Amino acid sequence: MRRFKWIEWNIEKVMAHGLSPADVEASFDRVLKLEKREDGSFQMFAETPAGRRIWVIWRYDQEGDDVPDIFADLDLTIFVITAY
């Protein structure tokens, strides 16, 4: 099961584009295109349950991790940077 980290900052960013955190989370089940960016984040083109096609910029949340755990990919939290 995916886990998402929502804070006031990223909630406000997605809501400014007429989306809710629930819309963005659900779009992870409807991915049309996914690319890794140079900065290590991901750019994803996906669809909300209502059929709206959106871009989501996100990364795995590793805040506080000094040494990455090679097994963490099995249970990493997703931090949405923005969605529009």
Q: What is the residue whose two structure tokens read 């990223």?
A: 10
How many angstroms separate the CA atoms of 42 and 65, rounded?
Answer: 19
Q: What is the pLDDT of residues 6-34, one digit of tens each?
A: 999 999 999 999 999 999 999 999 999 99
Q: Using CB atoms within 10 Å of the CB of residue 18, give its burial: 0 to 12 exposed, 13 to 18 middle, 19+ buried.
A: exposed
Q: Using CB atoms within 10 Å of the CB of residue 46, give its burial: 0 to 12 exposed, 13 to 18 middle, 19+ buried.
A: buried
pTM for the structure as a whole:
0.83
DSSP 8-state assignment for residue 44: E
